[in-house]
A and B are shown apart, each in its own frame.
Chain A
Amino acid sequence: MKDNLKWFAKNLAKGLRKKKGLMFVMLFPILLGLCSSGFSADVELIGAGATFPYPLYSKMFDVYSKEYGVKINYQAIGSGGGIRQLTNKTVDFGGSDAIMSAEDMKSAKVSVLHIPICAGAVVVTYNLAGDPQLKFTPDIIADIFLGKIKKWSDSRITAINSGIKLPDTDIIVVHRSDGSGTTSIFSSYLSKVSTEWKEKVGAGPSLNWPAGLGGKGNPGVAGLVKQTPGSFGYVELIYALQNKMPYGTIKNKKGNFIKPTIASTSLAANIALPDDMKVDLADTDAAEGYSISGFTWILVYKEPNYRDRKEEKAKALVNLLWWMTHEGQKYAEPLHYAPLSKAAVGKAEKLIKSITYKEKPILK
């Protein structure tokens, strides 16, 4: 490395002195780039995917790389992009808020593991004078987003919100315009609680919305909701907390009205979890759990031996995953993410232990 630098400096000086060296001066940045990528002694892991857990991941990766000297480069390009990059085998791990579809799985060809890292919640938010604390039932939310409940003074809303005076104004529905994991969690909840929604609209990161306006990203939705009187939209819980937006309490499957909090989001995972952890927490069976919750996963190949990846790299990846699901969990709550429940950590451990290199398990 040092010799290379000397060589560069010598040639650079020469290049500046003589015109013939001009080519070298022009090529210098390119050579420097090649050199720096080829000479890093530490193991570097590359990931791409979900934007939702990005603040948590960047905190975790920062701490981890300082402690263990493993450089981690995560690009928050969206869950869909993360799945695409993993399928193309250009990254070591992908991040996703959605479970990989059967079609995605088919194009990946080999088995991909879903390791849960934390849980997040989506809340419904609104703009009404005095910021009342409103209650909603699943069917009301679905019908508002279907455009069937048009006024705030609709008898179904007033019936469960006795004591709160609701105006006789139109409900202006606001949704995300960009494809996002938030929409994915929200629409899979609506599909579970309303058959009409399931048939007409369905679930996914981008939808054919039957009603309303679209805002780009959480800030776009929040901007529209904050300044449009009578609006009704959905954002991530973290975003509502950070921006002090009002949000509704929602009746869950067991009939309890649950206020969305970090605790009630964690509790949503208090159900019998499947071994592969490909579980949709929306409309959870947990009595104390908040309904519109979901895991966010890190996606890895079960056998991370592709495109000449060395065993050290696979080991570094497995160690990182172990750390994220154990020591790393303490960084979740300060950033308003719901940490994994004990049961979820147990399942994650089993999944991480099943990762192999040349068919030999990496962790024993």
Chain B
Amino acid sequence: MNHTIADVAVPTARSKITLQYKRVVSEASFRKILYLAGLSLLILLVAIFFSLVVASLPALRQFGFSFLVGKTWDPVRGEFGALAFLVGTLMSSFMALLIAMVFSLPISIFLGEYFRQGNVSTFMKSVIELLAGIPSVIYGFWGLFLLVPLVRALEVKLGVAPQGVGIFTSSLVLAVMIIPYASSIGTEVISLVPSDLKEAALSLGATRFEVIRKVILPYASSGIFAGILLALGRALGETMAVTMVIGNSNFLPKSIFSPGNTMASVIANEFTEATGSLYLASLIELALVLFIVTVIINVLGKLIIHKMSARK
């Protein structure tokens, strides 16, 4: 039913005023609800940060800055340093991002510029969405049973220790997991490039490739980058799939094929059996470090996006 003013309005002047008053009130309260929703999210974020800080206080006091540069993680002796996990997290995530970009950019151009409509496009879009919906433990098992033997065969050929699991394998799994995020936002942004810009370039004699390279990509770059940032956030926090294939060894990784560990996977692995206040506090401090790393990367990303949009 469509209520227009005429429908709702009743003949007497008094009720008209009441109605108008009610509309003003509902407008104001609606706005209040929106503010409240926004504010509660902010409060939640700050509350998470503070509860992490409070819960990790014993470890912060005990280790201070050496927590970030310490290489040993020894729950038996109560010596905790997170460097190996910090490096593992950043290495696996950024490598996954590189691999994912190689695939997500062409997908975005294909679906955003060449095949915007039609059965092929709808089918491909839903396949990509499906990729995003698969639970991560399934990715983990797929990685462990299918990808690990393939990587091992590759390692035998390259002459490195044939372990199969390691940072490289986890990057591959992560890449498949984050492609949907990067590519669907990329597709959206590329399809939003105004057609008069493209037509102008075409009318000047540009080929389709030139239009993509010189008009579409520069115009959409900030949006594409935003998609990549979202994908990176997902890669940093991924736990289950990574822990199944990364090898979970607490050493600083020597190469991209060596086994390693990430902060999220250490927390997931050790939290259930952690007893002793210092051990628990150290695990929570890992979460705090992960939180801060995510914030830093997001802020840096936002700055880059800002610069990109300003250049246009």
Contact present for A104 and B77 (CB under 8 Å): no
Contact present for B77 and A202 (CB under 8 Å): yes
Task: Give chain B's interface secondary structure class.
Answer: loop
Contact present for B243 and A177 (CB under 8 Å): yes
A228 to B245, CA, bound (A): 13
Contact present for A83 and B249 (CB under 8 Å): no
What distance in Å separates the Cβ of B308 from its nearest Cβ neighbour in chain A? 40
Cβ contacts under 8 Å, B163 to chain A = 172, 213, 228
Query: Of A81, A101, A214, A227, which is in contact with the most chain B CB atoms at under 10 Å from its CB?
Result: A214
Which of B20-28, B95-103, B145-153 participates in binding chain A? B145-153
Cβ contacts under 8 Å, B74 to chain A = 207-208
Say which size band chain B's interface belongs to: 20 to 34
Nearest opposing residue in chain A for B243, CB measure: A216
Q: Cβ of A263 < 8 Å from any Cβ of B?
A: no
Q: Which residues of chain A from 301 to 340 have any CB-CB distance to chain B below 8 Å in the complex?
A: none
Q: Cβ of B164 < 8 Å from any Cβ of A?
A: yes
A224 to B270, CA, bound (A): 19
Nearest opposing residue in chain B for A231, CB measure: B163
Say which size band chain A's interface belongs to: 35 or more
Residue in B145, B248, B276 whose beta carbon sits within 8 Å of that of A215 in the complex: B248
Residue in B247, B249, B250, B273 whose beta carbon sits within 8 Å of that of A178 in the complex: B273
Contact present for A179 and B164 (CB under 8 Å): no
Q: When A201-B76, A213-B163, A224-B165 are in contact, do A206 and B243 touch as well, CB less than 8 Å?
A: no
Residue in B148, B250, B275 whose beta carbon sits within 8 Å of that of A80 in the complex: B275
Q: Cβ of B2 < 8 Å from any Cβ of A?
A: no
Cβ contacts under 8 Å, A81 to chain B = 272-273
Cβ contacts under 8 Å, A170 to chain B = 161
Q: When A172-B163, A206-B75, A227-B164 are in contact, do A78 and B272 touch as well, CB less than 8 Å?
A: yes
A-B contact pairs, 29 of them (CB 8 A): A80-B274, A101-B275, A103-B275, A104-B275, A172-B163, A177-B269, A178-B273, A179-B75, A179-B270, A179-B273, A201-B76, A205-B273, A206-B273, A206-B274, A208-B74, A208-B76, A208-B77, A212-B249, A213-B247, A214-B247, A214-B261, A214-B269, A215-B244, A216-B248, A216-B269, A223-B145, A224-B165, A227-B145, A227-B148
Can you name 18 extra interface pairs (CB under 8 A) apart from A170-B161, A208-B73? Answer: A79-B273, A80-B273, A178-B272, A179-B273, A179-B274, A201-B76, A202-B76, A205-B75, A206-B75, A206-B269, A206-B274, A208-B72, A213-B247, A213-B248, A216-B243, A216-B248, A220-B144, A227-B149
